[in-house]
Structure 1
Amino acid sequence: MAGIGDSGEPGKSKDMRGGRGANRDTRGRIMEASGDLFRRNGYTGTGLKQIATEAGAPFGSIYHFFPGGKEHLGAEVIRWSGAMYLRLFETIMDAAPDVLTGVHDFFAGAAETLRETGYADACPIAAVALEVASTNEPLRQVTAEVFGSWIDAGTERLAGSGLSRETGRMLMISMLAGLEGAFVLSRALRSTEPVEVAGATAVAAVREALGRVQPDVARTPSSEEIR
């Protein structure tokens, strides 16, 4: 999951990056630069001097705003990025005429961002989680909190469409796991196909679940029809 793009129309894909510029104060620039670099280079592959340079900020300002150093900064960036991605999800779902279109649009936005950034920008939360899960317990806990908030929000959204909370939670976990895995494959293959396939699979799964409680739900639309 990343930042909200320009399009707010149903059926339109969204830019999934967290563009720099919304917050031009020094702390904001440091946060935004860190998020970009974690997404591209990973947590361990990103140095504080690199962050300061990217942010156009004095090196000492990092310790001014984040006295705990890189781990403190990393935790704040994970929480900030997680909240931003959650707003993106809610914005896309709110703009869509139905839950199937919303799920499609979310995955379509992820594919578009990968393509436009040369397969460099994916999910900074997953990038950090993969690196720190066995080596940094405080950061692991923060990534777990963010993933948990996404799962809870998606569960509520799907339950609101008529599904049980149990089914909604299962679907949301499946969609999130599919998206994060698809990011890895897409970056390695330099192809959006894995994200597109994961999206089509997610739409089909939600449609099937809805069909059990809403017999009049139409057949799963193709990507061309849903656009």
Structure 2
Amino acid sequence: MADPSTRSRILDATAELYRRQGMPATGLKQISAAAQAPFGSIYHHFPGGKEAISVEVIRREGIRYAELVGAQLADTDPLTGIPQLFEKAGRDLEAQDYSEACSIETIALEVASTNERLRVEAAEVFQSWLTGLAAWFGRLALTEPECRRLAMITLTALEGAFVLCRTLRSIDPIIAAGHGVQAAVRAAATTRRS
């Protein structure tokens, strides 16, 4: 019987490699080496090969990011705290020398037009994040469609900012995005009160 932690090591190593270099640039031998797992254990745990690993990485990373961000949102006022959340995400990216961002975004960009199964998996993760963000915006007593719209603005701004930050090697885009999202939230809250 295989070491029960081997499967987790494979998934953790794959997620890190995907965050750093993307899915197409990541090979099974590289995953095996990074996971310190025998090459044959990849097919033992993931008979579907790289696609099967990728499905699991998308699911796990989706949950991991949701928990990480959810904990930060729990202590943040949506009316005032968004710029600080965005800046923290930017500082974390900067500390990683812009090498690690959202693995779901990376995979989605790479496979949205070529692999329907992985596109659907990534879409489900994004939908779950949008649902969580919309619930967070519900603290402002906005309508459900307005909360959903703000969630979409927030996620779009954040993911787009990650791309620009990595490309420009600067956190300026994510800081600007945070202020832009905050302005949209304040405008929605002001309209609701009127």
Identify which of 170, 173, 177 aligns with 1:198.
177
Give, in angstroms, the shift of residue 116 of structure 1: 0.4
Partner Cα distance (1:142, 1:34) in 2: 16
Identify which of 125, 141, 150 aligns with 1:146.
125
Q: Structure 2 counterpart of 1:92, which letter?
A: Q
The equivalent residue for 2:5 is: 25
In the alignment, structure 1 residue 116 sits paired with structure 2 residue 95: yes
Normalising to structure 2: TM-score of the pair? 0.93
The equivalent residue for 1:183 is: 162
1:170-211: per-residue Cα shift (whole Å, max 9, x none)?
111111111111111111111000011111111121122122
Normalising to structure 1: TM-score of the pair? 0.80
Give, in angstroms, the shift of residue 101 of structure 1: 4.5
1:125-180: per-residue Cα shift (whole Å, max 9, x none)?
11111111111111111011011111111111112321111111111111111111
SS at 1:100's partner residue?
A: coil
Unaligned runs of 5+ residues in structure 1 are 1-23, 216-227
Change (3 A) 1:88 1:214: farther
The equivalent residue for 2:40 is: 60
Q: Is the 8 A contact 1:92 1:102 kept in 2?
A: no
The equivalent residue for 1:88 is: 68
Partner Cα distance (1:105, 1:90) in 2: 15
Identify which of 6, 18, 21 aligns with 1:38.
18
Q: Is the 8 A contact 1:89 1:106 kept in 2?
A: no
Partner Cα distance (1:67, 1:103) in 2: 42
Identify which of 201, 208, 211 aligns with 2:190.
211
1:104-139: per-residue Cα shift (whole Å, max 9, x none)?
343122101111011111111111111111111111
1:9-36: per-residue Cα shift (whole Å, max 9, x none)?
xxxxxxxxxxxxxxx9221111111111
Q: Structure 2 counterpart of 1:114, which letter?
A: L
1:66-92: per-residue Cα shift (whole Å, max 9, x none)?
111100000000010001111112100
SS at 1:99's partner residue?
A: coil
How many residues in Structure 1 have an aligned counterpart in Structure 2?
191
Kindly report structure 1 stretches of 4+ aligned residues shifted beyond 3 Å: none
Q: Structure 1 counterpart of 2:60, which letter?
A: W
Q: Structure 2 counterpart of 1:176, which letter?
A: L
Give, in angstroms, the shift of residue 100 of structure 1: 3.3
| Alignment root-mean-square deviation, CA | 1.5
The equivalent residue for 1:19 is: none
Partner Cα distance (1:159, 1:119) in 2: 32
Give, in angstroms, the shift of residue 214 of structure 1: 4.2
